[in-house]
C-alpha cells in the first residue's frame, strides 16, 4: 500500500482540509513538509470546526503528526495553536506530535521584516501574510537560522542572535522600523524552549522505520503549485517549493516514499492576495461564487478573488507538481448556473499558448480563451456517487479530466466529510 502526498493544484485554498481529513482517517502518520503558519486547513468534525496552520491534520483523528524539516516554525504560534485545540477537546503531547530537530524557527524579527518590506513596496505589494515566512527561509539558506535543536543550547542561540541581529537590525533601521534587543529575544526563546524541545527528534529515523514497516504515511502540503517559489506566478508566490518532490526533502525520506500524488482543485478558481489571475471574474458571477463558496482565507480572513476554472493552469500544475489524480472540490457551488466556462488557452500579444509563462509581464497580459459548457439544474450537494449527479455535472467533470490530462479520483460535493465521491482510493493504488 503506497503513501499519499496531497498538494494544491491552483493558488491554494482549494479545500485541502476536508480531503486531508478524509485521507488522514485512513493513514497512520500525517506529515507537514513545507511552509509555515501562513496557510490553513479547516476541518469540520461533527459539531467542531478546527482551523489548523502548523499542526498536521491527522492529530484530529488521533494519528501521529509530524512537522518536517522543510517547515519554518513560529514557536509562539505553534504553542498558541496547541492551546487553542486543547480548548476544543484535542490534547497534543510529545506522544502525538513530533517535530524535526533540524527545522528552522521564525523569530519575532521575521514578521517585522516581512511587514516593513511589504509597506515599502507600496503599490507593488506581493500580498504576503506578514507572518515572517519569507525572511525565515532566507535565514535558512543564508545559514544563520536558529533551529529547533538549538533551543536546547542557550549558548548556541545567543551566538546566532548576534549574527541575526547584525543583519536584520540594519535592514529594519533602513526601512524605518523598530529594531530588536538581543537579550529580549534570548529570554523569549529560552522561555519557550521547555515546551518545544520535548517534541523534537530526528523525524527522518521515525519515518524511515514507518516506511520499512509498511505503515501508511500521508504527506500534507500547504499552499499550491502556482504559489511554488520556482514554478508559480513569481514573485507573487510563497517562499518554499510546494510540489510533491518537496515531501521527500522536507521530511527526510527518499523520493520513492512520496507515493501517490493527489492534487486538490476547486471546480472553479480562487486566489488570495495580489498577482495574475487570468480567469478572474469581477462581475456578479464572481461575487456569486465567492458568496456561495464562503471564500475567505482561513489564515488571512481576506476575501478570495474568484473566477472560472483554468484548465491551462491546472494542467501545468499536474505536469510540474507530479500530480497523478485530482480531488475536485466545491462542485456544488456551481449548481443552478445556466452556463459554465473553462479556460482552454491564453492569448498573449496575439499568440495562443497553453501554459502560463514565467515572465511577469507576459503573465499579466494573458487573456483567457474559454470553452462554454451548459450548466445543470438540480443539486449536486451531498452527492456520494456519480449516479447522484445531474448528467451535465458529470459532463463538466469529464471535460476537466480531458483538458488537464489527469483523472478525478475524488469529488467533493459539500464541506461534510462523508459527502465525497470516491473513484479511486489513493492508498490502494
**What is the C-alpha separation between 399 and 271, in angstroms, rounded?**
23
User: Closest Cα partner for 93 from 59, 68, 67, 69?
Assistant: 59
Rounded to 5 degrees, φ, ψ at 284 are -65, -35
User: CB within 8 A of 277, min separation 6: which ones?
Assistant: 11, 269, 271, 305, 307
Which residue in the list 37, 41, 168, 231 is annotated as catalytic? 41
Q: Grid coordinates standing for 304?
A: 478570495
Which residue in the list 13, 21, 139, 419 is annotated as catalytic? 13
**13 in catalytic set:** yes
**41 in catalytic set:** yes
User: Closest Cα partner for 354 from 397, 313, 407, 399?
Assistant: 313
Cis check: omega of the bond before 112, within 30 degrees of 0: no
Active site residues: 13, 41
Amino acid at each position: 500500500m503506497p503513501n499519499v502526498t496531497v498538494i494544491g493544484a491552483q493558488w491554494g485554498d482549494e479545500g485541502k482540509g476536508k480531503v486531508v481529513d478524509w485521507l488522514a482517517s485512513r493513514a497512520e502518520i500525517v506529515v507537514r513538509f513545507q511552509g509555515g503558519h501562513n496557510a490553513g486547513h479547516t476541518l469540520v468534525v461533527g459539531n467542531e470546526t478546527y482551523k489548523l496552520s502548523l499542526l498536521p491534520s491527522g492529530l484530529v483523528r488521533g494519528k501521529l503528526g509530524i512537522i518536517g524539516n522543510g517547515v519554518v516554525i513560529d514557536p509562539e504560534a505553534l504553542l498558541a495553536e496547541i492551546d487553542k485545540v486543547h480548548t476544543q477537546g484535542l490534547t497534543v503531547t510529545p506522544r502525538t506530535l513530533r517535530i524535526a530537530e533540524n527545522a528552522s524557527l521564525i523569530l519575532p524579527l521575521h514578521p517585522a521584516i516581512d511587514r516593513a518590506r511589504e509597506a515599502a513596496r507600496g503599490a507593488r505589494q506581493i500580498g504576503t501574510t506578514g507572518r515572517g515566512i519569507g525572511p525565515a527561509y532566507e535565514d535558512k539558506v543564508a545559514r544563520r537560522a536558529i533551529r529547533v535543536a538549538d533551543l536546547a543550547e542557550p549558548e548556541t542561540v545567543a551566538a546566532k542572535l548576534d549574527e541575526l541581529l547584525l543583519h536584520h537590525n540594519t535592514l529594519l533601521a533602513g526601512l524605518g522600523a523598530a529594531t530588536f534587543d538581543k537579550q529580549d529575544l534570548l529570554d523569549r526563546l529560552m522561555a519557550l524552549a521547555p515546551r518545544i524541545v520535548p517534541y523534537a527528534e530526528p523525524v527522518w529515523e521515525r519515518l524511515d522505520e514507518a516506511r520499512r514497516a509498511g505503515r501508511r504515511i500521508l504527506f500534507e502540503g500547504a499552499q499550491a503549485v502556482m504559489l511554488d517559489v520556482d514554478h508559480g506566478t513569481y514573485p507573487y508566490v510563497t517562499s518554499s517549493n510546494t510540489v510533491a518532490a518537496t515531501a521527500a526533502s522536507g521530511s527526510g525520506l527518499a523520493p520513492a516514499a512520496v507515493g501517490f500524488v493527489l492534487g486538490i482543485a476547486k471546480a472553479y478558481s480562487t486566489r488570495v492576495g495580489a498577482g495574475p489571475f487570468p480567469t478572474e471574474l469581477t462581475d456578479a458571477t464572481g461575487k456569486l461564487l465567492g458568496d456561495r463558496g464562503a471564500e475567505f482565507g482561513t489564515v488571512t480572513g481576506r476575501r478570495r478573488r474568484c473566477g472560472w476554472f483554468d484548465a491551462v493552469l491546472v494542467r501545468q500544475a499536474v505536469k510540474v507538481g507530479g500530480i497523478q489524480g485530482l480531488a475536485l472540490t466545491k462542485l456544488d457551488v456551481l449548481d443552478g448556473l445556466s452556463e459554465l466556462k473553462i479556460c482552454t488557452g491564453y492569448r498573449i500579444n496575439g499568440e495562443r499558448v497553453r501554459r502560463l509563462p514565467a515572465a511577469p509581464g507576459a503573465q499579466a497580459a494573458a487573456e483567457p480563451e474559454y470553452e462554454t459548457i451548459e450548466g445543470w439544474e438540480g443539486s449536486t450537494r451531498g452527492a456520494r456517487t456519480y449516479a447522484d449527479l445531474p448528467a451535465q455535472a458529470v459532463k463538466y467533470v469529464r471535460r476537466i479530466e480531458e483538458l488537464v490530462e489527469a483523472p478525478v479520483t475524488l469529488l467533493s460535493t459539500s464541506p461534510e466529510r462523508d459527502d465525497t465521491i470516491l473513484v479511486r482510493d489513493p492508498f490502494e493504488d
